[in-house]
């Protein structure tokens, strides 16, 4: 469990990486909260609190497969 805040860009970014687990973190006051990009696959993003980020609390570029986002607390995300 980490607190990640006050970064100029991303709070937590997974870029071109697979099979990571991000759980129980608090991510706030960044431009983007938790970011998953560039074909990252098989990642678990669960039980995080991502609120109060400028652009999106949760951001995924829709590349990669098998990513699981569940039980996160957030206000904004960029997908339906």
pLDDT in tens, 17-41: 999 999 999 999 999 999 999 999 9
CA-to-CA dists, residue 12 to 22, 80, angstroms: 9, 21
Element (H, E) at 73: strand 73-74
37 and 61 in contact (C-beta within 8 Å)? yes
What integer pLDDT is reported at residue 57 of this predicted model?
A: 98
pTM: 0.95
Bridge partners, residue 36, by sequence: 14, 60
Q: Which of 55, 51, 14 is nearest to 36 (CA)?
A: 14
């Amino acid at each position: 469990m980490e607190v990640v805040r006050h970064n100029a860009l991303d709070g937590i970014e997974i870029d071109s990486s697979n099979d990571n687990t991000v759980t129980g973190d608090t991510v706030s006051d960044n431009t983007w909260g938790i970011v998953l990009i560039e074909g990252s696959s098989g990642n678990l993003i669960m039980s995080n609190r991502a609120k109060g980020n400028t652009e999106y609390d949760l951001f995924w570029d829709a590349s990669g497969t098998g990513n699981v986002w569940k039980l996160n607390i957030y206000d904004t995300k960029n997908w339906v």
